[in-house]
């Protein structure tokens, strides 16, 4: 009979003692059954207590860790006390206080974040009447715009719209703004961008131009100094000069015209300080068309792409804003008109005014026909500007080489885009997808419906029209729709090898026979020359 071992044959022992096996015998048990028994035992130890929420497996592990770390004497005599200490440490609070710990609710945190929007500059609470608030000509009525877009299920919630309303009011109080408009919201991976489109007062724009001119002059002086240093170095040692001439840089459009007609301020959340975006350059717009990057929400983040983008995320954001505005800002046909008839004939005209005799068409007509909508922002050419410029133009004082380059530049064809106030019905679609989709906000009550226009080329761009009121807005990732997957631009082809010719081609090594024949020919020629000299000497 088996009387040895921790369990008797009739006791299961959680499967550790198999029939016809004794730990003192030389027989090897079934490894699969042994592993199953070990798993069952571990599962039992991992059972959680319904009272304390602990399990025996973790408790034993904590006890052994405490014993090995402290290594007390006579551990077997104090094992019960160690077990109690481990349990007590599990339920001990981090701070021993008489009162309950105060938990800050999320609503309070949100209120603290937006508290600055409701406080006046003097420090008192906001007590101005709504009429005085609306009386500012440069302050847009964001809540009214949000109401109209809400009819079609577009826009932000009312709380965020009101926070943006107050943030724009604070921006107007700080900056010398002539007109202001809520442009939209561009989403980012970490944070979003709330964008305000403003038009500064005339004096402020002149100051900006002067500051930029001073920067350019300072850069020019530095470049002159660098050129002088280079000339001195070239005098010391003149290495081979490269014949490559980079293409001329296309200048950016002046502030208040073209792609820089408006100034844009951005912030990540209402209540955060507004940051002014820099003017956009043609090179940034051209490169932005070739890449597709998600925004991070940090203006100083680098834009890693190919081709390399000339700037950081603030410049990329400004380029995308210019592209979206040029393609999606529309108004009812006839709402704007050119100030003079001469400007209407000029395709480069960039100024317009409201038509006092405009009669809004019914909503049904604006939904059925796209000819009732027109672009009131000039399109951007392939050059990256709204007005084409010849980059090779030089002054009369240039050298003859520069005059030849000027003649080559004149051969470039001038780009001409669609004129201002062009109907959106002339916009090209994307394969089988039209460029625009128009619909009514509701079909149940047509009398009070609003005409909604959605851009399919720039998903997230919308416009509404109701009587003489209309507005444009954008909510999206800042990406243009493409029916095909985005394909990055390939790197330029590798430089061609130098043309091979007899002057640079390596000759074949001569054989031994060729060397011997060449040596014999040289000896014969030398012997003949000596004979001729001897004959001449005899003649003398």
Token pair recorded at residue 125: 């609470």
Q: Output the CA–CA distances (angstroms, integers) from residue 149 to 330, 403, 450, in the order listed.
A: 15, 56, 9
Q: Which of 197, 430, 439 is nearest to 325 (CA)?
A: 197
Q: What is the pLDDT of residue 30?
A: 77
Kind and range of the H or E run holding 220: helix 202-236
| Each residue's pLDDT expressed in tens, for the chain with a length of 540 residues | 444 444 444 444 444 545 555 555 555 667 888 888 888 888 888 888 887 778 889 889 999 999 999 989 888 999 999 998 888 887 665 555 566 667 778 888 878 888 888 887 544 444 444 444 444 557 889 999 999 999 989 989 999 999 999 999 999 988 889 999 999 999 999 999 999 999 988 766 655 554 554 444 344 455 555 556 666 655 566 666 777 788 888 999 999 899 999 999 999 999 899 999 999 999 999 999 999 999 999 999 999 999 999 999 999 999 999 999 999 999 999 999 987 765 555 555 667 889 889 999 999 999 999 999 999 999 999 999 999 888 877 444 444 455 554 444 445 678 888 888 999 999 998 888 999 999 999 989 988 899 999 999 999 999 999 988 999 999 999 999 988 888 888 888 888 877 777 777 777 888 999 899 999 999 999 988 888 887 776 666
Q: What is the pLDDT of residue 24?
A: 52
Q: From start to end of 230-289, where are the E strands?
A: 263-267, 275-276
Q: What is the DSSP letter of 346?
A: -
180 φ/ψ angles, rounded to the nearest 5 degrees: -140, 145
According to DSSP H, which parts of 135-181 are helical?
Answer: 142-150, 158-174
Q: What is the pLDDT of residue 206?
A: 54
pLDDT in tens, 471-480: 999 999 999 9
Q: What is the pLDDT of residue 42?
A: 87
Q: Which of 138, 388, 355, 374 is nearest to 258 (CA)?
A: 388
Q: Among all chains, which residue has been given the structure tokens 């990406």?
A: 479
Helix (H, G, I), strand (E, B) or coil at 259: helix
Q: Which residues contact 413 (CB under 8 A, 6 or more apart)?
A: none
Q: From start to end of 70-176, where are the E strands?
A: none
Q: What is the pLDDT of residue 540?
A: 60
């Amino acid at each position: 009979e088996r009387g040895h071992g921790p369990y008797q044959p009739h006791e299961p022992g959680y499967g550790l003692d198999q029939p016809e096996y004794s730990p003192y015998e030389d027989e090897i048990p079934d490894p699969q059954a042994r592993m199953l028994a070990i798993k069952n035992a571990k599962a039992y130890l991992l059972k959680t207590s319904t009272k304390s929420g602990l399990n025996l497996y973790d408790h034993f592990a904590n006890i052994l860790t405490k014993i090995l770390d402290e290594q007390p004497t006579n551990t077997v005599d104090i094992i019960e006390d160690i077990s109690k200490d481990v349990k007590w440490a599990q339920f001990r609070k981090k701070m021993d206080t008489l009162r309950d710990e105060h938990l800050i609710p999320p609503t309070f945190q949100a209120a603290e974040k937006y508290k600055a929007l409701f406080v006046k500059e003097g420090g008192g609470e906001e007590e101005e009447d709504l009429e005085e608030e609306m009386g500012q000509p440069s302050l847009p009525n964001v809540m009214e715009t949000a109401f109209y877009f809400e009819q079609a299920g577009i826009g932000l919630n009312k709380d965020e719209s009101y926070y943006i309303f107050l943030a724009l009011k604070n921006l107007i109080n700080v900056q010398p703004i002539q007109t202001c408009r809520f442009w939209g919201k561009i989403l980012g991976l970490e944070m979003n961008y709330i964008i305000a489109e403003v038009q500064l007062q005339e004096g402020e724009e002149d100051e900006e131009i002067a500051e930029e001119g001073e920067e350019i002059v300072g850069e020019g002086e530095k470049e002159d100094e660098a050129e002088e240093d280079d000339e001195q170095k070239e005098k010391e040692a003149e290495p081979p000069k490269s014949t490559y001439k980079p293409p001329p840089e296309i200048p950016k459009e002046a502030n208040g015209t073209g792609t820089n007609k408006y100034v844009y301020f951005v912030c990540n959340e209402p209540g955060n300080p507004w940051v002014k975006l820099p003017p956009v350059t043609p090179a940034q717009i051209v490169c932005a068309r070739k890449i597709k990057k998600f925004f991070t929400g940090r203006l100083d983040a680098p834009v890693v792409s190919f081709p390399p983008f000339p700037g950081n995320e603030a410049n990329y954001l400004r380029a995308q804003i210019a592209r979206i505005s040029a393609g999606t800002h529309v108004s009812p046909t006839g709402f704007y008109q050119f100030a003079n008839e001469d400007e209407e004939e000029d395709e480069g005209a960039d100024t317009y005014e409201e038509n006092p005799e405009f009669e809004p068409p019914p909503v049904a007509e604006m939904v059925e026909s796209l000819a009732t909508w027109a672009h009131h922002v000039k399109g951007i050419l392939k050059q990256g500007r709204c007005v084409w410029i010849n980059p090779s133009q030089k002054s009369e004082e240039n050298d003859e080489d520069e005059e030849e380059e000027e003649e080559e530049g004149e051969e470039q064809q001038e780009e001409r885009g669609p004129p201002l106030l062009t109907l959106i019905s002339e916009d090209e679609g994307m394969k089988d997808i039209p460029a625009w989709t128009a619909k009514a906000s509701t079909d149940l009550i047509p009398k009070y419906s609003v005409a909604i226009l959605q851009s399919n080329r720039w998903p997230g761009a919308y416009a509404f029209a109701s009587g003489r009121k209309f507005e444009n807005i954008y909510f999206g990732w800042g990406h243009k729709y493409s029916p095909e997957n985005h394909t990055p631009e390939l790197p330029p082809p590798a430089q061609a090898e130098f043309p091979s010719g007899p002057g640079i081609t390596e000759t074949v090594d001569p054989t031994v026979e060729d060397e011997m024949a060449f040596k014999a020919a040289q000896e014969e020629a030398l012997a003949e020359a000596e004979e001729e000299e001897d004959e001449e000497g005899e003649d003398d």
